[in-house]
Amino acid sequence: MPLLAVYTASKAAVNAFTESLALELRAFNIRVGLILPGRAPQTRFGENARRTMGQLPESYAALGQQIFDSMQDNASVTQATDVAQAVWRMVHDADAPSRLPAGEDALAMAQASHRLV
């Protein structure tokens, strides 16, 4: 995600940690997985993003506004129930994938990222 380097790097670190932990705990028959929520503007993250937009340096303002505007469309967003259902599935379905998108938008992002590889 542009302009969110630290956030994106921290998510990558959590992903790598979780995947390594899953390998280590497999021998003990313990499953570890990732729930991947999509855009959730009603969360604190959404509030923080809106507040931060006014604090961008002038050199980033146009790009920041373009990115922020693209996140404000009327496309589907992840709801709390989407995350709850994904957690339920991860816990109760032994065949659930180790990376489980939560919400229509998260599924679309996951499918798009697979097409990039």
pLDDT in tens, 63-114: 877 877 776 666 788 888 999 999 999 999 999 999 999 988 888 888 877 7
Nearest to 89 by CA among 75, 76, 107: 107
Burial-class residue 76 by CB neighbours within 10 Å (0-12, 13-18, 19+).
middle
Residue ranges of domains in the chain = 1-32, 34-39+77-117, 41-74
Q: Which residue spans within the chain are E strands per DSSP?
A: 34-37, 99-102
Tokens of 6: 């630290």
List the end-to-end C-alpha distance of the chain, in Å, as a whole number: 16
pLDDT for 117 equals 52
Question: What whole-number distance in Å separates Cα of residue 108 and Cα of residue 74?
Answer: 15
Whole-prediction pTM value? 0.72
Question: How do residues 16-30 score in pLDDT, each as one tens digit?
Answer: 999 999 999 999 999
Closest CA to 101 of 81, 86, 90: 86
